[in-house]
Amino acid sequence: MDFKVNTVHFTADKKLVSFIRGKLDKLGMMSDQIIASEVYLRVGKNGDKENKIAEVKLLMPGSELFAKKQCRSFEEATDNVVDALKRQIEKYKAKVV
């Protein structure tokens, strides 16, 4: 699976990138149909403490899965995005098989 992390107006440290990669690798073990993953990390403009936004797009044959979450930290947002994508992958597998 190809893996790409894009950050908007900041640079992600290696620890955060490896955390995200580990989470997405677990999704890869759920389905070997995942071709690539694109991650977008942004800090929201609002003054809330929950201003860290993680967006993940998974490319699969004939389909594209997407999830976006906003939380206090990028790690928490990534966890929530991965949970949402797990459900989407299960639906995709049920539909394809």
Over the range 35-58, which residues count as b (16 or more CB within 10 Å of their CB) and which as e?
Answer: eebbbebbeeeeeeeeebbbbbbb
What pLDDT is recorded for position 26? 94
Q: Are 70 and 53 in contact (CB under 8 A)?
A: yes
CA proximity to 65, closest of 46, 47, 90, 44: 90
AA identity, residue 63: S
Q: Count Cβ atoms within 10 A of the Cβ of residue 3 and give its class: 0-12 exposed, 13-18 middle, 19 or more buried.
A: middle
List the CATH number of the domain containing 72. Answer: 3.30.160.100
- The pTM for the full model equals 0.91
Overall number of domains in the chain: 1
Residue 33 belongs to what domain range? Answer: 2-96
pLDDT in tens, 9-64: 899 999 999 999 999 999 999 989 999 999 999 998 877 788 999 999 999 988 99
